[in-house]
Amino acid sequence: MTKKPKQPWPTKAVMHQIYERHLWGGNETDFYSGEGSHNPEITKPYLEAVSTFLKSFTNPLTVCDLGCGDFNIGKQLTKYTKKYSAVDIVESLIERNKTLFKEDNLEFRYLDISKEALPQADCVILRQVLQHLSNAEIQNILKKLKTYKYIILTEHIPLGNFTPNKDIISGQGIRLKQNSGVNILEAPFNFKIKNEKQLNKYVLDDKKGRIVTTLFEVF
């Protein structure tokens, strides 16, 4: 009898395991979203670029942070917004964040962003989230992003030329080892935008690639 191929774990279970087993580092007593959310060389220029954009509006924007993680980044952006909705797929992480971070304009929501309706906002932040997801899940998310005016997207991609959007099973890893990375403007996504502007780029090294943050204005 032929064995059926193993099915990938649901993304919710995978992300829960990553935090439970501290696969992105950190200590055993708390949640940790990895060096990309804690290394000052990476986070400081990112925060400067994003906060400058948010502060450029006379009337502060409402912001939806999809994949907010341990909130080490988001907690430094809330003061520049009218309302900040922070979303993550790990319920225990959201409950932890609710106890640690309390502001009048801040709410935390436990959602699977590829399957459930997203909070309304002017601007959505997706920081190193899509890179961990399969193409099918990315496609589901992109359909919902058309309702936002601005998208601030951060992706870890190779240096130089690469083949965009090679498919993966959702999880801890990303497409870098396949000399690939997410580009929502390329096939199979072909996401339509009005304008784009690079806000920030951090180069790790030849093997580890670069972390690029792009601002998209949607039609």
Q: Are 47 and 56 in contact (CB under 8 A)?
A: no
Give the percent of the chain with pLDDT over 70.
95
The per-residue pLDDT for 7 is: 46
**Distance of CA 142 to CAs 50, 126, 131, 219, Å?**
21, 11, 13, 13
Report CA torsion sign: 139, 141, 145, 150.
negative
What counts of helices (H) and strands (E) characterise the chain?
4, 7
Q: Are 128 and 173 in contact (CB under 8 A)?
A: no
Asked if pLDDT for residue 8 goes beyond 60, the answer is no
Query: What is this structure's pTM?
Result: 0.92
Token pair in block for residue 39: 């290394």
Average pLDDT of the residues in 201-212: 89
Classify residue 74 as exposed, middle or buried by CB count within 10 Å of its CB (0-12, 13-18, 19+): buried
Q: Which tens digit of pLDDT belongs to each residue from 70-100?
A: 999 999 999 999 999 999 999 999 999 999 9
Are β-strands 123-127 and 150-157 bridged in parallel, bridged antiparallel, or unpaired? parallel
Asked if pLDDT for residue 28 goes beyond 80, the answer is no
Asked if pLDDT for residue 207 goes beyond 90, the answer is no
Asked if pLDDT for residue 54 goes beyond 70, the answer is yes
DSSP 109: E
Average pLDDT of the residues in 191-219: 94
DSSP track, 125-193: EEES-GGGS-HHHHHHHHHHHTT-SEEEEEEEE-SSS--TT----SSS--SGGGT----TTSTTT----
Which residue type sits at 7?
Answer: Q
> Taking the CA atoms of the chain, what radius of gyration do you get in angstroms?
17
Average pLDDT of the residues in 33-41: 92
Q: Class of 25-217 per CATH?
A: alpha beta
Instruction: Give the distance from CA 147 to its chain's centroid.
Output: 17
Q: Which tens digit of pLDDT belongs to each residue from 130-187?
A: 999 999 999 999 999 999 999 999 999 999 999 999 999 998 889 999 999 999 999 9
Asked if pLDDT for residue 2 goes beyond 60, the answer is no
Domain boundaries, the chain: 25-217
